[in-house]
Structure 1
């Protein structure tokens, strides 16, 4: 038997604005349907999730506005940078997400992309509700307070 492949480079691309703008209610991990050179660009870390969002089209879950930069080493068989990419979840999870996302004020946000131990690209999706301005201010105050406590502990 051959040895299992071990992926040296750890890929963990996060949507940093998502936690600031949304309050996460529930999270899911979904597989992604990718074309040939997209996985190579993901392994290089050339992905942007800042404007991405998830939407149901004919009962299937897709991510829109996710930018995966074209692979630099590919010649003519490169992929489109921005296109709808299908996400793979169980049927129960899809039904649960579809009913919850139909509620007013709830959206599905891609939080991070990572590569699992088998070398497959996965996306973490969060079901979230938009934060109000005062919620964002409270989060910033809490973050500053934690930072001050850590400074005091090191001094």
Structure 2
């Protein structure tokens, strides 16, 4: 029997989502982390811009960093500016960082960002997942399952 999913995080406004991650990886455990951002980055995210499609996270020197995420420059910026693809530090507790580091090194798992969102308090958060990569046959199985669910929905709609 599968273990129950943890309670969903408080997502008031989702800015960017990595939909490909659920296709490429088995999600084992999820974490919510804060992101260390500059002011223009927050403003760009509030307008709905940003991408985490090709990004990943690493643990370096007791810190977690988000790498290769793109937050474009804010249009009405003044002198303050940011680099769109810079490394961004993620804010996690030491115990969580140690747990992630152990899982990455011992079990060979990957840290994958699933979504960037604003919570109900207006703070930018990122949902990280400890994930195991899928093989080609696993991906085919996922496609078959998704198609069967879609077909079930059609059959039930046509019956009722």
Same fold by TM-score, threshold 0.5 exceeded? Answer: yes
Structure 2 unmatched runs, 5+: 1-11
Report the equivalent of 2:118.
Answer: 115
Residue 128 of structure 1, aligned match among 126, 131, 138 = 131
Report the equivalent of 2:18.
Answer: 15
CA deviations on 1:36-78 (whole Å, 9 max, x unpaired) are 1001111112111111111112110010000001111113322
Report the equivalent of 2:83.
Answer: 80
What displacement does 1:104 show?
4.8
Whether the aligned pair in 1 keeps the contact of 2:15 and 2:50 (CA below 8 Å) is no
CA deviations on 1:71-128 (whole Å, 9 max, x unpaired) are 1111332211001101011111111111111125311000101100110000000001
Q: Say what the alpha-carbon RMSD is for the aligned residues.
A: 1.2
Report the equivalent of 1:144.
Answer: 147
Taking the aligned partners of 1:10 and 1:88, their CA distance within structure 2 comes to: 19
Taking the aligned partners of 1:142 and 1:87, their CA distance within structure 2 comes to: 34
Taking the aligned partners of 2:30 and 2:14, their CA distance within structure 1 comes to: 19
> What secondary structure is seen at the aligned counterpart in 2 of 1:102?
helix
Report the equivalent of 1:3.
Answer: none
Task: Please say which of residues 43-52 and 62-71 is displaced more in the overlay.
Answer: 43-52
> What secondary structure is seen at the aligned counterpart in 2 of 1:86?
strand
Report the equivalent of 1:50.
Answer: 53
Report the equivalent of 2:100.
Answer: 97
Structure 1 unmatched runs, 5+: 1-8
Taking the aligned partners of 2:65 and 2:56, their CA distance within structure 1 comes to: 9
